[in-house]
Structure 1
Amino acid sequence: MSLVELIARADARGLAGSGLACLDRCVPLLDGDDEVLRPLWATLADGAGDGPGWARGLAQVRDKLAGPDAEGEDEAVLLARRMLAAAPDECSGAAIRAWADACSVASLRVHRLLDPATDAATEAADVRGEERTQDRTQDRTEGLSPLVVAELRRQVTVLEVLAGHGPAGLRRALEVSTEGRRVLRAVVSRRARGRG
């Protein structure tokens, strides 16, 4: 099943977990530590994603990850900030589905921008449409950079484990996300050294 189909069939917890996992993998861009999103993961595990705990946790995370003005930040950082800013206060309804879908696209774009194997022309192009059709609808990976392929697979895995195992799948979703965060943190670190 394609990524787009998995998102379309996911329940509220799956959607919230999918969006949160995408954001979690992009935390290195926001200078966040590995534990910053733990309260939100815990809220989902407790089944309180549609209660006040999620909204409170979200407010705390936004406060911790509040960065400088968007002025001068590159596109990858801006995409990560938008993911966090757009997170709904409740894990239900159309808002959580729209957020999960937007996080999926944004995270693929972030990985495309940061992949050293991607040439400058591709990086500069608006590839949102390509990510929607090729990367997410048919899950075809030919011609995609390694970082993007790995992110696509992580997104699919997170949605599959959440659909197949419900609340118990959150642990595996977090493991997948942690692995992806470590990879992205290494990429961000190498990129910073290259610019320094």
Structure 2
Amino acid sequence: MASKSLRELIAQADERGLAASGLACLDRCLPLLASEADALRPLWAGLVEGEDDWSVRLGEARETMEGAAVEDEAAALVRQMLGAAPSEWEADPLREWADDCSVAALELHYRLDSGHGDGEPAAADVVEVLKSCREGEPGGTGPLVAGELRRQVQILEILADAQGGVGLRQVLELSTEGQRVLRAVVSRRARVKR
């Protein structure tokens, strides 16, 4: 049986899967925003409770992130990802948010991929590449985008199969791995620019 594309997995996910998928994308991009690594811990903890805790924990995470410095366009996009999170624990708004976070995370990784240099690729090119990725055709991407795409798919597959906290622990581990990769890239680029 052929594996499902990222778009198909998002379309079929339930509320918890969508919230965790969007949160994991945001979590992996935190190194681009000069903020505490633990800023999203309340939200991760709240996912176990689901709708009962989501709105309150979201408010706590936003307060924590308000003090983070926004130094460039990438950091601003990460802040927007959290700002756009819906307070309602409902499939439609959560699906829209998870989908937007998926695209934003892939775009940020695309910008950082070493194969694209420091020049900004044309917006139309980025859109086409990311659309192909999300439809299951990741050709023309660098290692950062390929890794991010793989993590997004794995997370949604884990959440579709797992129950409760077990799946969320695996998702958090995958997300932490992605965060380490991005932190290393950001650190390396900062050293090169000095």
Structure 1 residues without counterparts, runs of 5 or longer: none
CA contact 2:35–2:69 (8 Å) conserved in 1 = no
Aligned residue runs from structure 1 range 45-56, under 5 A:
45=48, 47=49, 49-51=50-52, 53-56=53-56
Quick check: 1:145 aligned with 2:142? yes
The sequence identity of aligned pairs, in percent, is 52
Aligned to 2:17: 14
Secondary structure of 1:166's counterpart equals coil
Paired with 2:126 and 2:66, the residues of 1 have a C-alpha distance of: 26
User: Helix, strand or coil: the match of 2:115?
Assistant: coil
| 3-state SS in 1 of match to 2:132 | helix
> Which position in structure 1 is the counterpart of 2:28?
25
CA deviation digits over 1:70-116, x for unaligned, max 9? 6xx43321221110110111231311110000000000001011122
Segments of 5+ residues of structure 2 without an aligned counterpart are none
Structure 1 residues 178 and 68: alpha-carbon distance in aligned structure 2, compared to 1, 3 A threshold = closer
2:114 to 104, 113, 116: 116
Structure-2 change in CA distance of 1:69 and 1:36 (3 Å) = closer
Quick check: 82-91 or 174-183, which moved more?
Answer: 82-91
**3-state DSSP of counterpart to 1:89:** coil
Which residue of the other structure, out of 147, 151, 154, is the alignment partner of 1:157?
154
1:5 counterpart (8, 24, 33) = 8
- Secondary structure of the residue aligned to 2:66 is coil
Which structure 1 residue ranges, 4+ long, deviate > 3 Å from structure 2? 67-70
The residue that corresponds to 2:41 in the other structure is 38
Q: 1:128 to 1:101 in 2, by over 3 A?
A: farther
Provide the rounded CA distance (Å) in 2 between the counterparts of 1:50 and 1:125: 40
Query: Cα deviation per residue 1:126-159 (whole Å; 9 max; x = unaligned)?
Result: 1453244211012x22220100000000000000
For 1:74, the equivalent position in structure 2 comes to 72
**Higher alpha-carbon deviation: 160-169 or 19-28:** 160-169
Q: Secondary structure at the match of 1:90?
A: coil
Provide the residue aligned with 1:106 in structure 2: 104
C-alpha root-mean-square deviation of aligned residues, in Å? 1.8
Structure 2 counterpart of 1:63, one-letter code: E
TM-score, length-scaled by structure 2: 0.89
